[in-house]
Amino acid sequence: MQHRVVLTVNLGTLAGNYRAVCGVAAPCAVMPVLKANAYGLGVGPIARALVAAGAPRIAVAEPFEALQLAGLGVPVQILSGILPDEIGPMVEAGVTLPVVSLEAARAISAEARRQGREALCHLALDTGMGRAGILWQEAPALLPELLALPNLRLEGLFTHFPLAYESGSAFTREQLRRFGAVLGAAEALGHRFRWIHAANSDAINNAPEACAAPFNLVRCGLNLHGAFDAAGSLRVPLRPVLTMTTRLAQIRDLPADTPIGYGHTYRTRRPMRVGTVCAGYADGLPLALSNRGAVLIRGVPAPILGRLSMDYLTVNLDDLPEARVGDVVTLLGRDGGHEIPVQDWAALKGTHAYDIICSIGSRVAREYRD
């Protein structure tokens, strides 16, 4: 038996997007950010496709995500934080760790020494994100001790941008200046970082300075999936990777003045053909599609009527006399000459594409096509 709602991830297109990001970010290498199960899309197949496409290393958010990727043959690094009790297993697994404070660095060093290993680390610098890491003003004074800690090799220096979607952002420029000051302090101590990185998808598209020397690496998540932050502009020639489909469950001819769905937010103005579609907010469809979004059936847009419920939504089939029960319904992606991109849902919900992708429901089957 088939799942009703299916999210198809086109791995060939994903690899194409990876290469497109590499083209724009060059000379920087591109590190895929595959945290949260690759934004909910399924980390295993996506990571394998990206490593095959040439990804030199992968970033995640937390230990279980790092362990899942241990067998891929490329370094895996945790980005913005590590808890004291996570240090031991992560050092043992050879995961590259963030250094977010002097205390954390001392603990990593001590644990690595106890295990007789060397821990590879990237210094997480807070230049204005205000979320985690060592404050850029405090970093120069800490560097001598950080660089001298035994069994800990600071092979990377990185920071993160909160406003990089703003093209020409003065704040992003200021962050780059702060970053440069710390990098200069480390170099004055004779230290060279193997990896220097700051840009995420927003910065790759809107802050080209973060894809040039001294940087030699960018971190990319969202763009790989063909989605982008509509708040900024887009430099990478991306192609959509995701298609979400379901099936048409019922077709009914309703008389005029029939109310539809919870809250009776829609009422037929005349006799209408109405379709019942197997998908609702439990599958990750934003409630904001109610009375505003559309689906595609046989390549034709069918507007959503009334409020979405948990498992079903209703659509206007006036333009689809040929529709039949069991028809494939495209919720996201292309059908014929029409396309519904992730960004459309984000705009209707008043949110960003990350929220839409990460909210796709757990009962939706993930399938992978090459």
Ligand X SMILES: Cc1ncc(COP(=O)(O)O)c(C=O)c1O
Cα–Cα distance, 264 to 332 (Å, whole number): 26
Nearest to 240 by CA among 221, 223, 216, 219: 223
Q: Is 115:91 a contact under the CB 8 Å cutoff?
A: yes
Cis peptide before 303 (omega within 30 of 0): no
Q: CB nearer to ligand X: give 4 or 219.
A: 219
Is 160 or 349 the residue whose CB approaches ligand X more closely?
160
Distance CA 291, CA 280 (A): 13
H/E run at residue 164: none
Our CB check for ligand X shows the closer of 202 and 283 to be 202
Q: Which amino acid is at 250?
A: Q
Q: How far is the CB of 249 from ligand X (least distance, A)?
A: 35
Q: Taking the complex as a whole, how short is the minimal distance between the CB of residue 200 and ligand X, in angstroms?
A: 3
DSSP 8-state code for residue 250: E
At its nearest, how many Å lie between ligand X and the CB of residue 220?
5
Asked whether 135 and 126 are in contact (CB, 8 A), the reply is yes
Closest CA to 140 of 95, 96, 180, 80: 180
If the CB atoms of residues 196 and 313 are measured against ligand X, the closer one turns out to be 196
What residues line the site for ligand X (CB under 6 A)? 33, 79-80, 160, 200-202, 219-223
Structure tokens given for 189: 């101590």
Choice between 220 and 302, CB closer to ligand X: 220
Is 18 among the catalytic positions?
no
Q: Choose, from 35, 39, 266, 281, the residue flagged as catalytic.
A: 35
Q: Which is nearer to ligand X, 220 or 294 (CB)?
A: 220
Closest separation in Å from C-beta 329 to ligand X? 29
The set of residues, in sequence order, having a beta carbon less than 8 Å from that of 241 and lying 6+ positions away, is 9, 10, 13, 14, 17, 224, 225, 226, 227
Between helix 139-148 and helix 170-188 the angle, nearest 10°, is 40
CB of residue 207 vs ligand X: minimum separation in angstroms? Answer: 12
Alpha carbons 286 and 245: distance in angstroms, whole number: 15
Whole-angstrom distance, CA of residue 179 vs CA of residue 201: 19
Beta carbon nearer to ligand X, 18 or 266? 18
From the candidates 18, 39, 165, 262, give the one annotated as an active-site residue.
262
- Taking the complex as a whole, the smallest distance from the CB of residue 26 to ligand X amounts, in Å, to 17
Closest contact distance (angstroms) between CB of 304 and ligand X is: 28
State the minimum distance, in angstroms, from the CB of residue 172 to ligand X.
Answer: 14
Helix axis angle for 102-115 and 139-148, nearest 10°, is: 10
Instruction: Clarify whether 35 is annotated catalytic.
Output: yes
Q: Residues 109, 193, 90, CA angle at the centre, nearest 5°?
A: 35
CA distance 40 to 358: 5
Closest residue to ligand X, Cβ-based? 221
d(CA 126, CA 124): 7
The Cα–Cα gap between 196 and 183 comes to 9
Q: Which stretches of 170-323 are DSSP H helices?
A: 170-188, 201-206
Residue number with CB closer to ligand X (66 or 260): 66
- Please give the positions annotated as active site: 35, 262
